[in-house]
Amino acid sequence: MYRYDNFDARFVSERTNQFRDQIARRLKGELSEEQFRPLRLMNGVYLQLHAYMLRIAIPYGTLSGAQMHKLADIADRFDRSYGHFTTRQNIQLNWMGLSNIPDILEELASVEMHAIQTSGNCIRNVTTDPYAGAIAGEAEDPRAVAELIRQWSSLHPEFSFLPRKFKVAITASEGDRAAIKVHDVGLQLCENDAGEAGVRVWVGGGLGRTPLIASVIRDWLPLGDLLGYLEALMRVYNRHGRRDNKYKARIKILLQALGLEELTRQVDAEFAKIDHIDPDNVRSELDRIRAFFAPPPLEESADEGTLQSDLAENQAFARWIQNNSVDHKVPGHTIVTISLKPIGGIPGDATSDQMHLIANLATLYSHDEIRTTHEQNIVLPHVRKADLHHLYKALADAGLGTANAGLASDIIACPGLDYCSLATARSIPVAQNISKRLEARENDVGPLKIKISGCINACGHHHVGHIGILGLDKAGKEYYQITLGGSGDENASIGEILGPGFSYDKIDGAVETLVDTYQSIRTGDERFLDTYRRVGADPFKEALYATA
């Protein structure tokens, strides 16, 4: 794992002290709310429906056991003993008092964490593949490049007041588990024809009011040029991105306005002028960072212990292995997904006891490594096959053994109207109702991604759900619009609106009808998305609206 150097430690500590002082001045009335608001947002403090919310950054979704223990301690001491893992691989605490926040930030700093750049119009936490460094076929561990970008973007004087927030995602696999094509910038680490390490750059993807799939702006760039190129791209965006209308301020709108060719021309011209970032320095800094992400000492082994007999004897364990584990690149090991989607539970929530347990299990069984996923689950990336049954039993005893990763009840849902001050409708209880309805047959249904947002901001990624649900307010009543055919993977697509929406009472039944329809028309081992792409929306519309 990356360890702070003196610069990082000093910067985080100075920022904590600065914010402690700003909070004290606010509480004494020396700063007005208007003056204070941007300062608190720069430190991840929002005002939500019931209280302040603190969003803590989990850079590229990687945590050690000690960091997870610290998050659990903070949830216990200062909040209501639980945390909510978000679609940006961060964690939110929902019941914060302002006066406690400086102490919390100090606690976080003691384990090299903070809440900086989790809000505001800056470059946000860089997200990546939760299987990074563990899955076969990667160009390299993308977290080293993500850390390089974190260092470059943190405190960057030019990019602290962008036209709008800016999100970067990075993957090193052909299979995209980081949804890079729906980010402002998506990076795919890959080799060129000569076998040199580099990166493909996508630009202008995003969800929200104007959902768009990103375009390739550079097919391949040597890694030494990455920061210079990003700096050029950010400069063009900073200069021309609209500041007069926040709904038109993201880079995707600039891309639409200029066209890809012109944007590429401007970025290339700016890149040619950049002479203050030396590619050799970038390369050597990347080498320094890579050392922190050296793979753990895993021994190739054919020894699976009692795995086969345990699988034969324990059906629930076998189902969990089938759905929640993926082969590791080192034989004898597995990547495990811990579902934070218990049937009828709140997607992404974990109690502090569960967080402590995950931390202990990571230390015992996963070389002290934990990943958070944009699908609001947890991953233990390096588990020996021989340890899987012990791990499963410990998780299942704590309500963390749900065998539903990638299935119908593994639903992404934003906090929605239950917590979020921007929401137009609830998301969480809709997810709970759907998961209860579909649980019994979800193994027959197979891979299905249902994603729910409580407003058009789309934090629940509904546009890229195979079934997407957007909660709206219609004359004071919650009302849900369905989109079909979205996908956030390497074949990304934006879902199409199906037709008139449904009331809160009807939406879970409507989703069940869609699943019935799929099961009645699928051929072979088609996934829901494959069937939709083959037949289009008509059979689904007919089933939903014919009798309406």
Give contact residues for another protein (rule: CB under 8 A).
26-29, 32-33, 47, 49-52, 80, 95-99, 346, 417-419, 423, 426, 428-429, 432, 476, 478
Which of 255, 417 has the CB closer to another protein?
Answer: 417
Which of 386, 422 has the CB closer to ligand SF4?
Answer: 422
> Scanning the structure block, which residue is given the tokens 């050799």?
280
Could you say which of ligand SF4, another protein, none residue 535 binds, taking C-beta under 5 to 8 angstroms by partner kind?
Answer: none
> Contact with ligand SF4 (CB under 6 A): which of 198, 211, 416, 468?
416
Q: Which stretch binds ligand SF4 (CB under 6 A): 28-36, 92-100, 413-421, 429-437?
A: 413-421
Could you say which of ligand SF4, another protein, none residue 317 binds, taking C-beta under 5 to 8 angstroms by partner kind?
Answer: none
- Report the distance separating Cα 274 and Cα 262, nearest Å: 19
Q: Is 422 an interacting residue with respect to ligand SF4 (CB under 6 A)?
A: yes
Could you say which of ligand SF4, another protein, none residue 51 binds, taking C-beta under 5 to 8 angstroms by partner kind?
Answer: another protein
Minimum separation from the CB atom of position 81 to another protein (A): 10
Minimum separation from the CB atom of position 125 to ligand SF4 (A): 16
Which segments of 69-184 are extended strands (E)?
82-85, 91-96, 127-128, 168-171
Q: Is 519 an interacting residue with respect to ligand SF4 (CB under 6 A)?
A: no
- Report the distance separating Cα 104 and Cα 92, nearest Å: 13
Residues 6+ apart with CB under 8 A from 266: 236, 240, 258
Which of 3, 28 has the CB closer to another protein?
Answer: 28
Could you say which of another protein, ligand SF4, none residue 272 binds, taking C-beta under 5 to 8 angstroms by partner kind?
Answer: none
Judge whether 519 and 445 are in contact, CB under 8 Å. Answer: yes
Residues 6+ apart with CB under 8 A from 346: 84, 413, 428, 431, 432
Judge whether 80 and 95 are in contact, CB under 8 Å. Answer: yes
Which of 430, 455 has the CB closer to ligand SF4?
Answer: 455
Could you say which of ligand SF4, another protein, none residue 455 binds, taking C-beta under 5 to 8 angstroms by partner kind?
Answer: ligand SF4
Which of 46, 502 has the CB closer to ligand SF4?
Answer: 46
Binding mask 439-478 for ligand SF4 (x = CB under 6 A): --------------xxx-xxxx------------------
Q: How far is CA 514 from CA 73, 188, 337, 520, 530, in A?
A: 42, 34, 27, 10, 14
Which of 201, 207 has the CB closer to ligand SF4?
Answer: 207
Which of 17, 421 has the CB closer to ligand SF4?
Answer: 421
Q: Which stretch binds ligand SF4 (CB under 6 A): 138-146, 232-240, 416-424, 474-482?
A: 416-424
> Contact with ligand SF4 (CB under 6 A): which of 23, 63, 255, 423?
423
Residue whose C-alpha is closest to residue 252's, from 360, 165, 340: 165
Judge whether 52 and 46 are in contact, CB under 8 Å. Answer: yes
Q: Which two tokens stand for residue 200?
A: 């493909």
Residues 6+ apart with CB under 8 A from 184: 166, 167, 168, 203, 204, 205, 206, 250, 251, 252
> Contact with ligand SF4 (CB under 6 A): which of 187, 336, 379, 414?
414
- Report the distance separating Cα 195 and Cα 172, nearest Å: 15
Sign of the CA dihedral running 345, 395, 318, 487: positive
Q: Is 420 an interacting residue with respect to ligand SF4 (CB under 6 A)?
A: yes
Could you say which of ligand SF4, another protein, none residue 335 binds, taking C-beta under 5 to 8 angstroms by partner kind?
Answer: none
- Report the distance separating Cα 67 and Cα 83, nearest Å: 13
Which of 33, 275 has the CB closer to another protein?
Answer: 33
**Site residue total, ligand SF4 (CB under 6 A):** 13
Could you say which of ligand SF4, another protein, none residue 142 binds, taking C-beta under 5 to 8 angstroms by partner kind?
Answer: none
Could you say which of another protein, ligand SF4, none residue 197 binds, taking C-beta under 5 to 8 angstroms by partner kind?
Answer: none
| Contacts of the segment 503-508: beta carbons below 8 A, 24+ positions apart | 503/477, 503/478, 503/479, 504/425, 504/426, 504/429, 504/430, 504/477, 504/478, 504/479, 504/480, 507/430, 507/433, 507/434, 507/469, 507/480, 507/482, 508/430, 508/433, 508/434, 508/437
Which of 314, 457 has the CB closer to ligand SF4?
Answer: 457
Residue whose C-alpha is closest to residue 229's, from 169, 197, 187: 187
Minimum separation from the CB atom of position 178 to ligand SF4 (A): 19
What single-letter amino acid sits at 229? Y
Which residues are near ligand SF4 by CB under 6 A?
414-416, 420, 422-423, 453-455, 457-460
